[in-house]
Amino acid sequence: MDLRIKKSTRALLDASFQVLLVNPRASLSEIAKLAGVGRATLYRHYSTREELIAAIAIESLDLIEQSLAPIIAAKQSGLKAVEAMVEKLLPLADRFHFLQTVWTIAELDRQVWAMYETQMNQIWLWIDEGQKKGEIHAELSAEWIVAVIDSMLYSASWMLNQSKMPEQHVKEQFLILLKHGITTE
Amino acid sequence: MDLRIKKSTRALLDASFQVLLVNPRASLSEIAKLAGVGRATLYRHYSTREELIAAIAIESLDLIEQSLAPIIAAKQSGLKAVEAMVEKLLPLADRFHFLQTVWTIAELDRQVWAMYETQMNQIWLWIDEGQKKGEIHAELSAEWIVAVIDSMLYSASWMLNQSKMPEQHVKEQFLILLKHGITTE
DNA sequence: TAGTTATGATACAATAGTGTCTCATATGGT
DNA sequence: ACCATATGAGACACTATTGTATCATAACTA
């Protein structure tokens, strides 16, 4: 593949991700400028705003998929798999933040939705296994647990960026809260 | 105060809240139309988009403040106060969702920031009390707990709207997860 | 009821954003 | 080194959005 295309799309995806995270109203001109790429070039690769957003969403979901792959390969299951998942996904907290902010647009894309569904099913499976094994509270719905992990990753992105808590520390706090809650019992 | 003003600002705040929650890029014309109010009237009350967003943010923070007031009045403290807070704030989950999506704009407003800080301090205080009493894990930073409650309210709004889980059920799941985490130990 | 004023409709100018096209240039593939 | 092509710069038409102004009318206050 042509290096020039690789270079421009890379710059565009990076700049878009960065800008749209902070300002979802940013214009395509603004994004092109920040990417150091001609406006026409942006339109050549992504004919609409929606397409660009979908492309970033797909890239994000791809990164998530790659992070989960080793857990699947190692045939981990139940709570152990969920724990491993959290550790792997923490570095991608910003991607979750992005997906949440653009979700109403991104979810309209077929591929985005398909990837999202696949991953959701995988996570549900792990939670379900954990519940069957008695490791995870059976009263909690898998849907709710997934939603909470998702939004906790959003919090994690906040903590990493705004309050500069080191990643190792965020990881510990994340797992304590997720596994044991806030009470000492 | 003139009833006409009350009526238009009410309609504008409601419509804006509803629309911006789904589409943060909505134009002011769009919002005015949905509010059933002339575009000129919108500009008479809110001269810029930022002002409008700040107004909704202030209203939201006001609702939150009103919900927390009885807990303060009853002099509750520590974990009990946190639990009571969650119950009171759950019906305002959408407001938290809104605040998160427009925060980069809203936080620039002095009044918004002041109200936010006051409430944050109150919540920190409760958590701190809970930790001193030994009810809440001391290893968890108050900042992290607050961030997580905030984003769990976002999840709750998702569950209430998208997956139509009844509020009572969401409340139970919220408290189980927050207090005890997902593990059975 | 009389006077005030907020409103909707409309027009208007100014600006910003979109989407397409052309063309000389530079960069990459082979 | 040669050819193909992706690029940036610029021009262009078009639409959307903003922000202001005017004015007759309706709704409110006292």
Transcribe chain A into DSSP letters: --HHHHHHHHHHHHHHHHHHHH-TT--HHHHHHHHT--HHHHHHH-SSHHHHHHHHHHHHHHHHHHHHHHHHHTT--HHHHHHHHHHHHGGGHHHHHHHHHHHHHHTTSHHHHHHHHHHHHHHHHHHHHHHHTTSB-TTS-HHHHHHHHHHHHHHHHHHHHTS---HHHHHHHHHHHHHH-SB--
Quick one: A61 and A147 in the same domain? yes
What is the tally of structural domains in chain A?
2
Q: Which of A109-118, A159-168, B2-11, B21-30 has the lowest mean pLDDT?
A: A159-168
Decide if A99 is inside a domain.
yes
For the cut 90, the answer to whether the pLDDT of residue B96 exceeds it is yes
CATH number of the domain to which B66 belongs = 1.10.357.10
Quick one: B20 and B68 in the same domain? no
Quick one: A89 and A159 in the same domain? yes
Identify the contact set of chain A against chain B, taking CB-CB distances under 8 A: 22-25, 79, 82, 101, 104, 130, 134-137, 139-141, 143-145, 147-148, 150-152, 154-155, 158-159, 163, 165, 170, 172-173, 176-185
Decide if A129 is inside a domain.
yes
Quick one: B97 and B123 in the same domain? yes
Decide if B185 is inside a domain.
no
Decide if A93 is inside a domain.
yes
Quick one: B75 and B14 in the same domain? no
Q: Do A144 and B183 touch (CB under 8 A)?
A: no
User: Using one digit for the tens of pLDDT, what is the confidence trace for B37-55?
Assistant: 999 999 999 999 999 999 9
Quick one: B73 and B117 in the same domain? yes
Long-range contacts of B65-68 (CB under 8 A, 24+ apart): B65/B115, B65/B118, B65/B119, B67/B91, B67/B92, B68/B119, B68/B122
User: Using one digit for the tens of pLDDT, what is the confidence trace for B63-93?
Assistant: 999 999 999 999 999 999 999 999 999 999 9
Quick one: B24 and B81 in the same domain? no
Closest listed residue to residue A133, CA positions, set A73, A79, A69: A79
CATH number of the domain to which A20 belongs = 1.10.10.60
Find tokens 């139509």 and name the residue. B164
Quick one: B135 and B104 in the same domain? yes
Decide if A24 is inside a domain.
yes
- pLDDT number for residue B15: 98
Decide if A166 is inside a domain.
yes
Give me the mean pLDDT over the B105-123 stretch: 97
Quick one: A71 and A32 in the same domain? no
- Tell me the chain B residues in contact with residue A143 when contact means C-beta distances shorter than 8 Å: 159, 163, 165
The pLDDT > 70 percentage for chain B reads 100
Quick one: B107 and B64 in the same domain? yes
Is the C-beta of residue A155 closer than 7 Å to nucleic acid chain D? no
Domain with B40 in it: 1-47
User: Using one digit for the tens of pLDDT, what is the confidence trace for A70-104?
Assistant: 999 999 999 999 999 999 999 999 999 999 999 99
Quick one: B74 and B155 in the same domain? yes
Is the C-beta of residue A150 closer than 7 Å to nucleic acid chain C? no
Quick one: A11 and A98 in the same domain? no
Decide if A185 is inside a domain.
no
Contact B174, B156 (CB under 8 A): yes
- pLDDT number for residue A185: 73
Average pLDDT by stretches of 10, chain A with 185 residues: 96 98 96 98 97 98 98 97 97 96 95 97 97 96 95 93 91 96 90
Query: What confidence category does residue B1 fall into, taking pLDDT thresholds of 50, 70 and 90?
Result: confident
Cα separations in angstroms, B184 against A4, A63, A136, B120, B179: 54, 31, 6, 31, 12
Interhelix angle A142-161/A167-180, nearest 10 degrees: 150
- pLDDT number for residue A110: 96
Quote the mean pLDDT of chain B.
96
